[in-house]
A = this chain, B = another copy of it.
Amino acid sequence: MSEPVWSWLDGAPLQADWMLDRGLHYGDGLFETMLLQRGRLRFAALHAARLAEGCKRLHIHCDAAAAIEQAQQLLGDGDAMVKLIVTRGVATERGYAPSGNERARVLLLRYAAPTIDGPGVPDTAIALLQAQLGENPLLAGLKHLNRLELVMARAQLQGSGCFEGILCSSTGNLACGTMSNLFIVDNDRLLTPRVDRCGIAGVMRAVVLREAQQMGLTAQECDMPAAALQQAEQAFITNVRVGIRPITRIGNRALQAGQLTLQLRQRVADLEA
């Protein structure tokens, strides 16, 4: 029962390990999206830590630090966007339950370098999406391979002219963007949605929380209703590609990039990897 007797791809007979990868069958794995700058993976230690945490929670047997270190060795020089995927491995039995004997597989993809934002504030319009994120504490925060919700959300955004869409949880709290985390600036406090029921605990989110504290700011993870975004005077999104992007428009409402946001943005941009 453990191995298929025959298999086909698009009608042609094919036997290949990847056809049995649990990453493909169930989204049973994790990934990291990283920035390579002058041959160095930016925030490599934070990516390794998040990947390790994900492997631990999903019981995937993979040495995350070694995987990131190997990626660093393989990638070579220059600038690039990098995607590293870890799957639980090839299924050793049919069915959802892992046997525990799978050997994790590591895929590494090097893409062309992204356009990096310059010092000026780029136009960043966002939309509050209808699509919601289901809540599951067992998976919340992880950058796992079950990303159909974000595929659907991103598709909703097409043609809107918006750079990003913000999603709420199925119980109506702000969660995160389709490819970013959200921060709202409330006077001198930074507020960001919790990621313990849905959403992804972004590496740049962690950097911003850390840097804000080092600047003596109050930075809090909290439950935030959608209205908090509608009423925000200053807000920004974060990911490892764009760093901090001040939101300049929500629907028809224009927002200003305030001094605190710009200061934090510069600080993050200046960080050593």
The oligomer's copy count stands at: 2
A residues sitting closer than 8 Å to B (CB atoms) are 1, 3-11, 16, 18-28, 31, 58-59, 70, 74-76, 80-81, 83, 85, 87, 94-98, 105-112, 114, 131-139, 144-155, 157-158, 170-171, 178-179, 197-198
Decide: A24 and B26 in contact? CB cutoff 8 A. Answer: no
Nearest B residue to A149, CB-CB: B136
Query: A145 contacts which chain B residues (CB < 8 A)?
Result: 24-27, 148
Decide: B5 and A80 in contact? CB cutoff 8 A. Answer: yes
Determine which of B74, B114, B136 lies in contact with A134 in the assembled complex, contact meaning CB atoms within 8 Å: B136
Classify the secondary structure of A's interface with B: mixed
Cα of A71 to Cα of B106 in the assembled complex, Å: 31
Decide: B26 and A111 in contact? CB cutoff 8 A. Answer: no
Nearest B residue to A104, CB-CB: B10
Decide: A134 and B26 in contact? CB cutoff 8 A. Answer: no
Most B C-beta atoms less than 10 A away, residue of A75, A83, A114: A83
